[in-house]
Amino acid sequence: MHIVVCIKQVPDSAQIRIHPVTNTIMRQGVPAIVNPYDMFALEEALRVRDRLGGGKVTVLTMGPPTAEAALRKSLSLGADDAVLLTDRLFAGSDTLATSFALSQAILRLSEQEPVDIVFTGKQTIDGDTAQVGPGIATRLNLNLLTYVAKIEKVDPEAGSIRVHRRAEGGVQVLEAPMPCLITLLEGVNTLRHGSMPDMFRAARTQITRWGREDAGIDDPTRIGLKGSPTVVTKVFAPKPTAEPATQLEVAGRSPADVAADLVERLFDDSGDLERLLLRQAG
């Protein structure tokens, strides 16, 4: 059983800066952390391996050389191998270019040892698009299981997996053939503490680095800014609320009085209330 976990080193969301010209995230000088959602995916992959009594967990990330820190953290928690996809041509990749580069790297990994499951977090905290996981699955023709809250059963002999997927209005229990890609929800497990031998191994391991050619990417126009059709026209932070919240007193008042007070507070003198009443009357 070979499991690949895609993780991402992201800037601390409290200290993100935006490039004034390209409107891309400036990572230089901003503290980096491992995307929190990806850590749940890593833990679940390790649990599947441990439950089966064997297998291999390979952690894959794309980023600058400093992203090695995220891979070493994964190794310290028990991952077996780690690959860093790094090349200056990858800079500025949107979700389309990123999913292409990662899918090519997974293909290269599968040539060495067939991949049965690919895990990702449900999304990243810097982009929040939740597009990369499904993009990888589409490119590799993998069965896609999104928003998974529980891995009920993995059967390597039958080549199938059964999961609980959180959906609107309830939970779906799905069984699918492998290979597959799973995007895991947050809070479904508790991250383990790394053992001392794994920590020493993580510190000593020579991280495998793949450039564009190592990953089998022949066309450079499909990666980086050249392969990213997404155009960010504006990035801005929400404006803070100018007025503090107020409490509506209801004790000892009739429902009609409370409703009238609420309407008066919700609508100002700009005519919003009048337009609402006319719309309802019409």
> What integer is the mean pLDDT of 128-157?
94
Q: List all residues 6 or more positions away from 163 whose beta carbon is below 8 Å from its beta carbon.
A: 145, 148, 150, 151, 152, 173, 174, 175, 176, 182
CB atoms within 10 A of CB 126: 16
Q: What pLDDT, on the 0 to 100 scale, is given for residue 265? A: 75
Burial zone of 30 (CB within 10 Å; 0-12 exposed, 13-18 middle, 19+ buried): middle
pLDDT beyond 80 at 219: yes
Degrees (nearest 5) of the Cα angle 159, 164, 165?
A: 110
Q: What pLDDT, on the 0 to 100 scale, is given for residue 29? A: 66
Q: What pLDDT, on the 0 to 100 scale, is given for residue 247? A: 80
pLDDT beyond 70 at 276: no
**This prediction's pTM:** 0.78
- Mean confidence (pLDDT) of the chain: 87
Q: What pLDDT, on the 0 to 100 scale, is given for residue 215? A: 92
DSSP string, 180-227: EEEEEPTTSS-PPPPPHHHHHHHHH---EEE-TTTTT---GGGSTTTT
Q: In angstroms, rounded to a whole number, what is the distance separating the alpha carbons of residues 231 and 223?
A: 15
pLDDT (tens digit per residue) in 75-85: 999 999 999 99
pLDDT band, residue 277 (cuts 50/70/90): low
pLDDT beyond 70 at 185: yes
Q: For residue 158, what are its two tokens?
A: 């039958």
Q: List all residues 6 or more positions away from 174 whose beta carbon is below 8 Å from its beta carbon.
A: 145, 162, 163, 164, 165
Q: What pLDDT, on the 0 to 100 scale, is given for residue 118? A: 97
Terminal Cα-to-Cα distance of the chain (whole angstroms): 64
Higher pLDDT, 268 or 176: 176
* Contact indicator for 122, 8 with CB cutoff of 8 Å: no
pLDDT (tens digit per residue) in 85-122: 999 999 889 999 999 999 999 999 999 999 999 999 99
Q: What pLDDT, on the 0 to 100 scale, is given for residue 271? A: 54
2-222: CATH topology is: Rossmann fold (3.40.50)
Percent of the chain with pLDDT over 90: 64
pLDDT (tens digit per residue) in 7-17: 998 876 666 66
* Contact indicator for 213, 149 with CB cutoff of 8 Å: no
Least confident segment among 65-69, 156-160, 274-278 = 274-278
Q: What pLDDT, on the 0 to 100 scale, is given for residue 262? A: 81
Q: In angstroms, rounded to a whole number, what is the distance separating the alpha carbons of residues 77 and 189?
A: 14
Q: What pLDDT, on the 0 to 100 scale, is given for residue 24? A: 65
Q: What CA–CA distances, in Å, run from 230 to 97, 98, 129, 134, 226?
A: 10, 12, 12, 17, 10
Report domain extents, the chain: 2-222
112 DSSP 8-state letter: H
